[in-house]
Amino acid sequence: MSRPWTVQVGYSAHYCNTVTVGADTLEEALEKAIATANEDAAGWRSTDHCSDSFVDAVCEGSDADPWDRDATLPVPARFSEHGEPPVVTLAGPLPPGAVRVSGGRATLRFETEAGTITAEVRDPPLPPTNKPLVTVSVGPDGKPRVEVEGGSARVHILDG
């Protein structure tokens, strides 16, 4: 027998206000730009860009509050705003070895004693806002060390 669910579905609409400011540093320019844009209500306009629909919150029951802390359920990644994270597969005795990304995009950074290599690897479809940076280096024990920033990725390391 089916059960009732209350689900809040949304999409992101992009609005922008392009401003020019004077500043000595990038951080100062960004702070001034935000303040200037927020003071100029008439300057904001839609770019007519909207994201795909996604689930904000969900709970079981009819006409329930999906944001109620005691009732809300976790939203599976594939229904969330960021989508399912890509899978990064590393194969070989030591990085960089062979690399494969499936189900999205990831920026990979390989750090060795000889230098650093950074590359974006993608496999469509691209998730709308998940842009992980996967840093691979060799740890003191000689094994790959992996760090993920700026998003999420599932990393599989296969022994050579």
Read out DSSP for 61-128? STT--TT-TTTEEPPPGGGSSS-SPPEEEEESSSSSSEEEEESEEEEEEEEETTEEEEEEEEESSPPS
Of 66-70, 99-103, 145-149, least confident by mean pLDDT is 99-103
Of 97, 102, 100, nearest to 138 by C-alpha is 97
Domains held by the chain: number:
2
Residue 39, φ and ψ in degrees, nearest 5: -80, -15
Mean pLDDT of 26-50: 89
Whether residue 6 contacts residue 61, with contact meaning beta carbons closer than 8 Å, is answered with yes
d(CA 85, CA 105): 9
d(CA 57, CA 44): 28
Of 19-23, 79-83, 144-148, least confident by mean pLDDT is 144-148
Among 44, 75, 106, which residue terminates a domain? 75
Mean pLDDT of 98-125: 69
Mean pLDDT of 41-62: 86
Q: 44 with 94, same domain?
A: no
Of the pLDDT bands very low, low, confident and very high (cuts 50, 70, 90), residue 63 is confident
Residue 99 lies in a domain: yes
Mean pLDDT of 10-36: 89
Among 75, 98, 116, which residue terminates a domain? 75
Asked if residue 93 has pLDDT above 60, the reply is: no
d(CA 132, CA 148): 6
pLDDT value at position 38? 92
Mean pLDDT of 34-49: 89
Question: The domain containing residue 50 runs over which residues?
Answer: 5-75
Mean pLDDT of 96-111: 69
